[in-house]
A and B are shown apart, each in its own frame.
Chain A
């Protein structure tokens, strides 16, 4: 017991006031009973530069650096209550948390922590860095506060969800710097349309939200939504470009449309979804029936995102035959989605959806990497054809993705064929051609898909040396009994031959069609007659048989 008593005594032994303090990060000042500074450590001296604190009264010292809040420091002590830090703001906007404690030996010790960075970071955490608007977290926090107020006063508040229409196209075609400038201008327009008490938040990307209170509802929200649709839809002049985007707005009002933050957020989102479904560039007020049945497409959207995440998508492979050699020369990779309850969802249904919700890039990359990996394991080095969506050309990373997929799978670049539709060439043709040329340089072949449908501009055939033209199945169907189809077919194969491009006919289903496309000079065929799409395992097995047949 004695020993510990001695230890305690060691700790509590009076020390010279300044002994332990000089190097502390916290600024420490010791003042005498007259509140005159008697000691400062290095941090404190730095803090008040160029003023020398020793000998000043604290009041004079605070005044010298323009600190506001200095009186409260003493008020805390004078009132005798347990001292909590007092925040001082200096003229240069630094923020100091000050604690003043009386010393048993007389006078006071004042510790000051510079909390500027901490406070700014906390504020930043509430704010969207690009636009300075509140962020998603801050929106939710403010919504919780406002809803508490709604519950107390019964006065309604509105939540507006806003999506920009066509913003992605601006970002994709003109680049992020212009997209960012546009978002900042949009944020300014939000501020000009709202009032001081309203909370405007950017939730990320091109999604915004506003909380409106202290206004009679629903009139207030309707007026604001109308104004936002008009205002955001007005043209923007940025870096010499004239840009046009639009806004779709969904509105939910507390308490009628929900008293809980999550309910209100969900309902505003449902109303926004309705506004977008009904043509965009408008606003919709939430109505209970919107929640009754989550729209089927939205459910599909959720399922598709999940399918991608859970890798519920599959690739099937359809064989392609060379008509002269009668051998399999390759396969086309076809995506299949087997939905747990809906069964097989056709690509025509989910690919446009994937494009719209911007996950086509991820899906396309998955297809490419999976096809390369599986084809690399085939016993026969036949080609693998992969379809590209026009959307995949946006963002300028396609060539990198392809080379990376080749490197990762160790697939010979000459075995990869990319099938593109003319849709890819409709806009930004130059950038797309640059990408295609880069792919050609590494040895990848490029096929013009669906030839004969759409615009089928011959100009595209002149702009890029496609390796192959895939003639659309609408010209193949019943070609044996339609002379005009034969004529078109022959014209295309002739054209392709002159341009040194190969041709492949898709959708060949009968012997008659097969004979006819062969007679018309087509090089390759693909269709139910020569082989339906089959699983990866079946593809392996089929190639193994071919292999042994050749060996025999």
Chain B
């Protein structure tokens, strides 16, 4: 029916201004909100970030994914949202919310590693459709030095 399982993947420019602390605070708040709001409507996924961009995977019933995505579109902490996928899928790649840091900056990796640890993010889960590699490549280009 209309509520079959869908996966939506986007990436966008991080427009959180300020230093690494501000970025960290924004990321924590975004993930916390995602986990609470989306659990209720059975949407799971993954959030990836670095200092320059966000990339997010949303998985769940189609109408719920559409509602969550609409809320994300209205968020002014990011801009230039590019959609990479919006398709029906057979199974979820991310059963629970997870978060990954995608960047090359060693300083950032050390800093955000703490955030990411224990979130259960597994890039291998996205290797199947090469989407993760794409995201990773895009993310690298967007990264700004924050140290």
Contacts and interface: CB of A to CB of B under 8 A. Distances in A.
Interface of A: 185, 188-189, 192-193, 227, 230-231, 234-240, 242
Nearest to A238: B66
Given A192-B74, A239-B62, A242-B86, 15 more contacts: A185-B70, A193-B74, A231-B73, A231-B74, A234-B73, A235-B83, A236-B73, A237-B8, A237-B65, A237-B66, A237-B69, A237-B70, A237-B86, A240-B6, A240-B88
Contacts of B69: 237
A53 to B, nearest CB: 44
A236 B69 CA distance: 8
A188 B81 contact: no
A188 B76 contact: no
30 contacts: A185-B70, A188-B70, A188-B74, A189-B73, A189-B74, A192-B74, A193-B74, A227-B76, A230-B79, A231-B74, A234-B73, A234-B81, A235-B73, A235-B81, A235-B83, A236-B70, A236-B73, A237-B8, A237-B65, A237-B69, A237-B86, A238-B66, A239-B2, A239-B62, A240-B2, A240-B6, A240-B62, A240-B88, A242-B83, A242-B86
Interface residues of B, number: 16
Contacts of B79: 230
The interface residues of chain B, by DSSP majority, are classed as mixed
Minimum-distance CB pairs A-B, first 3: A192-B74, A237-B66, A234-B73
Contacts of B2: 239-240
Nearest to A232: B73
A237 B58 CA distance: 12
A189 B75 CA distance: 10
Contacts of A185: 70
A239 B2 CA distance: 7
Contacts of A234: 73, 81
A469 to B, nearest CB: 41
B57 to A, nearest CB: 14
Nearest to B76: A227
Contacts of A238: 66
Q: Of residues B70, B81, B83, which shows the largest number of chain A Cβ atoms within 10 Å of its Cβ?
A: B70
Contacts of A227: 76
